[in-house]
Structure 1
Amino acid sequence: MFKKILIANRGEIAVRIIRACREMGIKTVAVFSDIDKEALHVQMADEAVCIGPARAKDSYLNMQNIISAAILTGSEAIHPGFGFLSENSKFAKLCEECNITFIGPSAEAIELMGDKAKAREVMIKNNIPVVPGSDGKVDSLEEAVDIANKIGFPIMIKAAAGGGGRGIRIVRDIDELFKVFDMAKNEAKNAFGDDSMYIEKFIENPKHIEFQILADSYGNVLHLGERDCSMQRKNQKIIEEAPSVILDENLRKKMGKVAIDVAKAVNYKNAGTVEFLVDKNGSFYFIEMNTRIQVEHPVTEMITGIDLIKEQIRIAAGEKLEYSQEDIKIIGHAIECRINAEDVENGFRPSPGKIDFLHFPGGLGVRIDSCIYQGYTIPSSYDSMIAKLIVYAKDRKEAIERMKRALEEFVIEGIKTNIDLHYELLNQKEFIEGTYDTGFLTRFLHR
């Protein structure tokens, strides 16, 4: 087992990893930008190294500085968390070249699954159900028109190198396709340095269901059930829950097997998430695989009792999985609300600033993953998520009531947050019944 791990991240995920390491008796090294010197992860780690100025490209995306910090502190492994360099195959390769263990899959798996068009090709070859569309990359407008005519509108044009809901355009007719194709390519080039696009049929108002995967270096692959991530704004998830109300045991088993097949098809190792769309008829389609720990991993931990960060570390250290698929039991229900520093009334504008007063909710079945404290100043340089509120209960009805109670107790003064929006959403008929889909939040906000 590793003696020391460097965490190449910040915020609540850095704090989450430090806690897991501490319980495993592993020393931790935090890296930070100069604007983050008062951050909680810096205070909690055994050591901390400044890696550059506030801009992410000069600090949390600065591979050379992070590797130098790892070598300087004698860190044997790097945990990338999510975002930043977590799905960067070049960084994973650099770690390997410097004899530092990257806590995640191989550079090859990251590269393959990170290229959405290539991943789609591999899935088709392995008989994994995918959304109808192009077999791989679409190079020209003429090719795009041909595919659109075959599969029918509406379609989605997607950046092959995209992620996090970015690089996506919904196109509803041929005239719109002529207008946006080159525009979408240019946007992809600017955002990802790669203008490769692919096309999928746009499935109206589906459910977004993802399966958590664990895979070790000995050929053992298992899933830990699903998460329903259909509550989204602009393709960004804001509420997640597990298990999903739309899956019965038969469909769960079927989708779980396909998720395992996806991981095996790319020789995947470590934790990963296989994402599907499920239409109103119960048909499901692979859309992508996230080759990292997810923001919403706590809901899976709550219903399975398995610490996913610890499993990531054990797998990276060369240990075998201690569980078989038969050992995985899903018990109870969990819900997560992403708490963002944003002004909902003004177009969800980020709301950085000093926290004048803070009160976290507590009680049975309530968990907070956060990086904030009273007196802390939230910087404007990074993502607006400042906390995750997770609840667990014996069933979904009780979980909803517990989440509402916890949101009522959650007080943050000095900045704007989306706490009130979460409370409103939990009281909507569609959420209570579990019938909400990926288009629900947009419809709700435009009522």
Structure 2
Amino acid sequence: MPAFNKILIANRGEIACRVMRTAQDLGYRTVAVYSEADADARHVQLADEAVCIGPAQVNQSYLVIENIIAAARKTGADAIHPGYGFLSENAEFARACEAAGIVFIGPTVEAIHLMGSKRLSKIAMLEAGVPCIPGYEGADQDEATLTREAERIGYPLMIKASAGGGGRGMRLVNDGSELAAQIRTARSEAQNAFGSGELILERAVIQPRHVEIQVFGDQHGNIVYLGERDCSVQRRHQKVVEEAPCPVMTPTLRQAMGEAAVKAAASVNYVGAGTVEFLLDASGAFYFLEMNTRLQVEHPVTELITGQDLVAWQIRTASGQPLPLAQENIRLTGHAMEVRLYAEDAAHNFLPQTGTALRWEPALRDGIRIDHGLVEGQAITPFYDPMLAKVIAYGATRDEARRKLLRAVEDCVLLGVNGNQRFLANLLGHPEFAAGNATTAFIGEHFAQDASLSPQPPSARELAVVAALLYQRSASSRAHQQQLAGWRSAGSAPWRFVLKQAEQRIEVELQVLGDGTQPRLLATVGEQAVELTLLAADGRWAHVELDGVRQRLAYHLQGDGIWLYGHNGNLELQDITHAPATGSSAAASGSVKAPMDGAIVEVLVEEGTTVAKGQLLVVLEAMKMEHPLKAGVDGVIRRIGVSQGDQVKNRQLLVEIEAAEV
């Protein structure tokens, strides 16, 4: 008899959907939990039952242990899978499940507690003989002690939150003059994200590879490793590309790292899925970073090269069954690569985006796997991590996997909310990455000037297509009203459209060159002329002919808004052709607006304060990250419209500065 029959997934988004898929395939009933903001989310729709556990804020819903236990009791769920993030590495949650007689699909309370602290786990690994980076992992956390220890370690060094991960509470310090400010920021971010401001310090290993080993243990004392994943390509210490196997791995090095990872797991009698993370330097030396006592975001690449379902392994070991394979039976075949699709604007310093997913079509084909929690019409809110989906490719070789992944990233359609697809595609196509040479310094050294990282104006061709679609809608509407089948006569005057992208105003003139339902059109944008034919447009896909080449483009029209999936990703424009004229505003108005929905963490100035351009005014928290908002001009604070703790909307006016006279 199985130890449990119904599994509650204490998570949301793609990981909740992914766990449900395997649980249901294995014959288990599933229960979703959701916040009020997630009532119509995909994971709720896929589950057999679902229970609302509170308001949108995570500290009132997904992080409330009592509400999740109550949901399990209400539905009769006798096991809980925590996914990743949220409560997945919370020892108190595992203990509460145990007290309630509910199976926690994860490691023991003791293992979670020890490995959940970078400070305590590093001490344990040093005792176990696992190679570690020199640093400070002491209990004294006052600033004077940290400053003294930093001087002993030397610069550059890393400040790291002892609890949690994902790059939060982590800062690189190159010089002692930066230390105090970086400690303050790291501690604040860690406290907000994980409820603990405890920090450790480590010597910075320059230009390493970030290589992690997947380990698995059962209740019978068996522990194995399932190869490695290279997660070197990172931004702000958050993983961007994950792949397996590591491009520079040798059988000897894999065995050494794998055995070190097993030694780390064995030191805490580990059960279930875990990941031991290492830094690998150019000489082949490796150092323990941390152990994650949960399923990793990037677990699909391991699944693809081993042919194993790691969630199934988790469920089976939690029910008391032994591991399905011994170490000598684990085989690695082919290559897999994964990227994370985020709702963020790479061209504006990766600012998280909120809005509505008006259109979502994942590009599924042979060798492509897409794990996601999206449905069309879903609101992307500021309350959760901005990751929307994972795009994963498998190939016989690394380059085949990379090539498949690049195409899949470009072909996924996301409209209504800006995504990071162009950034990902350009990165996958970069020669240094394609050659397998990327280290943790890759983005800073080889990618900092990429076009995806700065705003790009829409091309004349894209604007021509937008004008053609607006023309078709307007002309078709008039023709329908007049009960006519064709479009506007070619002899008429040119159409003129006025479009707006952010604060930029763009004019497009469109001339109809022929009659019929597919007339030739000539669009003029400034000095550029583009000839095209709009062959068909059904509200989702536009078929156009440009310079004799036919193309299919995704688009969405809603009210005065039009979204086009173009070369630089999600192009959003407003049709203001018939909007009333307004006076132009000054280039530097001194208005500081919220770049997204979020919460005010700190207001650092008062009305009447004199400020300089670039001075920090307000700190906004959204999607688990803090965002500093600075003065755009020299001047005096005229008005402050928010206070600490306020929830604000995108583009809401926060601070007004009266600009100093030049």
- For the superposition of Structure 1 and Structure 2, which TM-score range results when normalised by the shorter chain? over 0.9
Alignment correspondent of 2:85: 83
Regions of 4+ moved over 6 Å: none
Identity of aligned residues (%): 48
Equivalences for 1:193-272 in 2 at 5 Å?
Answer: 193-272=195-274
User: Larger strand proportion, structure 1 or 2?
Assistant: 2
Structure 2: distance between partners of 1:145 and 1:51: 43
- Asked whether the equivalents of residues 305 and 332 of structure 2 are also in contact (C-alpha less than 8 Å), the reply is yes
Alignment correspondent of 1:110: 112
Alignment correspondent of 1:395: 397
Structure 2: distance between partners of 1:210 and 1:309: 18
- Report the structure number with the largest CA radius of gyration: 2
Aligned-residue Cα RMSD (Å) equals 1.7
Alignment correspondent of 2:368: 366
1:180/1:33 Cα in 2 relative to 1: closer, same or farther (>3 Å)? Answer: closer
Q: CA deviation at 1:307?
A: 0.3
- Asked whether the equivalents of residues 138 and 197 of structure 1 are also in contact (C-alpha less than 8 Å), the reply is no
Q: CA deviation at 1:137?
A: 3.6
Bigger mean CA offset, 341-350 vs 296-305: 341-350
Q: CA deviation at 1:169?
A: 2.4
Equivalences for 1:241-390 in 2 at 5 Å?
Answer: 241-390=243-392
C-alpha distance after superposition, 1:5-52 (max 9, x if no partner): 001111010100110011100000011111111111111111111111
Q: Report the AA paired with residue 389 of structure 2.
A: A
Structure 1: distance between partners of 2:214 and 2:267: 16
Structure 2: distance between partners of 1:438 and 1:70: 41
Q: Report the AA paired with residue 28 of structure 1.
A: T
C-alpha distance after superposition, 1:225-272 (max 9, x if no partner): 000111111111121110001111110010000000000011111100
- Asked whether the equivalents of residues 81 and 293 of structure 1 are also in contact (C-alpha less than 8 Å), the reply is yes
Unaligned runs of 5+ in 2: 450-662
1:144/1:341 Cα in 2 relative to 1: closer, same or farther (>3 Å)? Answer: closer
Structure 1 residue corresponding to 2:95, chosen from 86, 93, 96 = 93
Structure 2: distance between partners of 1:221 and 1:246: 25
Alignment correspondent of 2:532: none
- Asked whether the equivalents of residues 169 and 188 of structure 2 are also in contact (C-alpha less than 8 Å), the reply is no
1:185/1:59 Cα in 2 relative to 1: closer, same or farther (>3 Å)? Answer: closer
Equivalences for 1:131-210 in 2 at 5 Å?
Answer: 131-134=133-136, 136-177=138-179, 180-181=182-183, 184-185=186-187, 187-210=189-212
Q: CA deviation at 1:208?
A: 0.5
Q: CA deviation at 1:139?
A: 3.3
Q: CA deviation at 1:421?
A: 1.0
1:84/1:428 Cα in 2 relative to 1: closer, same or farther (>3 Å)? Answer: same
Paired residue secondary structure (1:230): coil
Q: Report the AA paired with residue 326 of structure 2.
A: S
- Asked whether the equivalents of residues 169 and 185 of structure 2 are also in contact (C-alpha less than 8 Å), the reply is no
- Asked whether the equivalents of residues 391 and 403 of structure 1 are also in contact (C-alpha less than 8 Å), the reply is yes
Structure 2: distance between partners of 1:15 and 1:350: 23
1:19/1:156 Cα in 2 relative to 1: closer, same or farther (>3 Å)? Answer: same
Q: CA deviation at 1:441?
A: 1.8
Bigger mean CA offset, 410-419 vs 112-121: 410-419
Q: CA deviation at 1:166?
A: 1.5
1:26/1:120 Cα in 2 relative to 1: closer, same or farther (>3 Å)? Answer: same
Q: CA deviation at 1:301?
A: 0.2
Structure 2: distance between partners of 1:425 and 1:137: 41
C-alpha distance after superposition, 1:324-360 (max 9, x if no partner): 0011100000001101111211221222222223322
Q: TM-score, normalised by structure 2?
A: 0.65
Q: Report the AA paired with residue 114 of structure 1.
A: G
Structure 2: distance between partners of 1:380 and 1:148: 35
Alignment correspondent of 1:37: 39
Structure 2: distance between partners of 1:126 and 1:83: 27
Q: CA deviation at 1:59?
A: 0.9
- Asked whether the equivalents of residues 137 and 160 of structure 1 are also in contact (C-alpha less than 8 Å), the reply is no
- Asked whether the equivalents of residues 207 and 279 of structure 1 are also in contact (C-alpha less than 8 Å), the reply is yes
Q: CA deviation at 1:171?
A: 2.1
Unaligned runs of 5+ in 1: none
1:442/1:182 Cα in 2 relative to 1: closer, same or farther (>3 Å)? Answer: same
Alignment correspondent of 1:429: 431
User: Larger helix proportion, structure 1 or 2?
Assistant: 1
Paired residue secondary structure (1:52): coil
- Asked whether the equivalents of residues 224 and 326 of structure 2 are also in contact (C-alpha less than 8 Å), the reply is yes
Q: CA deviation at 1:175?
A: 3.4
Q: CA deviation at 1:86?
A: 0.5
Paired residue secondary structure (2:434): helix
Q: CA deviation at 1:107?
A: 1.3
C-alpha distance after superposition, 1:80-120 (max 9, x if no partner): 10111101111110000000011111111111011111111
1:49/1:181 Cα in 2 relative to 1: closer, same or farther (>3 Å)? Answer: closer
Q: Report the AA paired with residue 216 of structure 2.
A: L
- Asked whether the equivalents of residues 34 and 52 of structure 2 are also in contact (C-alpha less than 8 Å), the reply is yes
Structure 1: distance between partners of 2:110 and 2:336: 34
Query: Does 2:78 align with 1:66?
Result: no
Q: CA deviation at 1:67?
A: 0.3
1:355/1:178 Cα in 2 relative to 1: closer, same or farther (>3 Å)? Answer: closer
Q: Report the AA paired with residue 291 of structure 2.
A: M
1:31/1:114 Cα in 2 relative to 1: closer, same or farther (>3 Å)? Answer: same
Bigger mean CA offset, 408-417 vs 162-171: 162-171
- Asked whether the equivalents of residues 61 and 67 of structure 2 are also in contact (C-alpha less than 8 Å), the reply is yes
1:347/1:27 Cα in 2 relative to 1: closer, same or farther (>3 Å)? Answer: same
Equivalences for 1:9-28 in 2 at 5 Å?
Answer: 9-28=11-30
Bigger mean CA offset, 292-301 vs 409-418: 409-418
Q: TM-score, normalised by structure 1?
A: 0.96
Q: Report the AA paired with residue 134 of structure 1.
A: Y
Q: CA deviation at 1:180?
A: 4.2
Paired residue secondary structure (1:209): strand
Bigger mean CA offset, 80-89 vs 342-351: 342-351
1:317/1:203 Cα in 2 relative to 1: closer, same or farther (>3 Å)? Answer: same
C-alpha distance after superposition, 1:352-389 (max 9, x if no partner): 22222332212211111111133333333211111111
Structure 2 residue corresponding to 1:407, chosen from 406, 409, 417 = 409
Q: Report the AA paired with residue 379 of structure 2.
A: T
Paired residue secondary structure (2:260): helix
1:20/1:340 Cα in 2 relative to 1: closer, same or farther (>3 Å)? Answer: same
Q: CA deviation at 1:156?
A: 1.5
Alignment correspondent of 2:50: 48
C-alpha distance after superposition, 1:171-212 (max 9, x if no partner): 223333355446644554454443332221101121100011
1:143/1:17 Cα in 2 relative to 1: closer, same or farther (>3 Å)? Answer: same
Aligned residue-pair number:
447
Paired residue secondary structure (2:278): strand
Bigger mean CA offset, 17-26 vs 355-364: 355-364
Structure 2: distance between partners of 1:97 and 1:255: 36
- Asked whether the equivalents of residues 33 and 53 of structure 2 are also in contact (C-alpha less than 8 Å), the reply is yes
Paired residue secondary structure (2:304): helix
C-alpha distance after superposition, 1:379-409 (max 9, x if no partner): 3321111111111010101111111222232
